[in-house]
Chains A and B, each alone.
Chain A
Amino acid sequence: DAGVTQSPTHLIKTRGQQVTLRCSPKSGHDTVSWYQQALGQGPQFIFQYYEEEERQRGNFPDRFSGHQFPNYSSELNVNALLLGDSALYLCASSFLAGQETQYFGPGTRLLVL
């Protein structure tokens, strides 16, 4: 049973560029959440997708956007990158109606120069 997978593992971009990160949820899961983890901090919630709609959103600017596909996989897009966007981006999946919590992928490490 494959867990949550994310691609790419590492990414280097320059300020002002745009980036797309990808996530495939754990088998049987229908909900995908994205988190940003800065160095030395706990993950911070960005947004959550269910049935291809953004269901909840944390305190992140509109430069952060996402998408969920019919197969439940998801993308996170960040426009106009800032140095402060450098972080580990984590995808977590869950089953909306279930009693389990979220399972995380290995993350994508983004460095903005």
Chain B
Amino acid sequence: QKEVEQDPGPLSVPEGAIVSLNCTYSNSAFQYFMWYRQYSRKGPELLMYTYSSGNKEDGRFTAQVDKSSKYISLFIRDSQPSDSATYLCAMSMNSGYSTLTFGKGTMLLVSP
């Protein structure tokens, strides 16, 4: 079993839909949880960064962490074609210096 599991997709939705992306993990030592967006052939761009359990909202994006279930989610409201990308979840045990463990990424396609 991999440390971080993420459905690779692709996930296809129409413009304006609410998108739900998820990851599960096995290592209970993870304390920091991130979502990165990666456009084709580009580097990952940090979207959301949360510590421990709870919700965090930033514009159209909401990140949820449930440490008891070892489950994290990213919700995208009013999805746009420009949201089409691969979404990578990542997690670490500490903040600035800790190594990141990534999922495989979920490819999202938003059609106009």
Does B34 contact A90, Cβ atoms closer than 8 Å? no
Within 8 A of A (CB), among B40-67: 41-46, 49
A-B contact count (CB 8 A): 74
A31 to B95 CA separation, bound complex (whole angstroms): 12
Interface of A toward B, CB cutoff 8 Å:
4, 6, 31, 33, 35, 40-45, 48, 50, 55-56, 58, 88, 90, 92, 94-107, 109
Does A94 contact B96, Cβ atoms closer than 8 Å? yes
Counting chain A CB atoms within 10 Å of each CB, which of B42, B96, B100 scores highest?
A: B96
Does B97 contact A96, Cβ atoms closer than 8 Å? yes
Q: How far is the CB of A96 from chain B (nearest CB, A)?
A: 5
Does A109 contact B97, Cβ atoms closer than 8 Å? no
Instruction: Given A43-B100, A58-B99, check contact A101 B32 (CB 8 Å).
Output: yes
* B70 proximal to A (CB < 8 A): no
Contact with A along B90-112 (1 / 0, CB 8 A): 10100111011111110000000
CB-CB under 8 A from A50, the residues of chain B are 97
CB-CB under 8 A from B4, the residues of chain A are 42
CB-CB under 8 A from B6, the residues of chain A are 42
A40 to B8 CA separation, bound complex (whole angstroms): 8
Q: How far is the CB of B24 from chain A (nearest CB, A)?
A: 14
Does A106 contact B42, Cβ atoms closer than 8 Å? yes
Closest to B107 in A: A40
A50 to B96 CA separation, bound complex (whole angstroms): 11
Does A45 contact B100, Cβ atoms closer than 8 Å? yes
Apart from A35-B100, A56-B99: 18 A-B pairs, beta carbons within 8 A: A31-B96, A33-B99, A42-B4, A42-B103, A43-B102, A45-B100, A90-B43, A90-B44, A94-B96, A94-B97, A98-B96, A101-B90, A101-B92, A103-B46, A104-B43, A104-B45, A105-B43, A106-B43
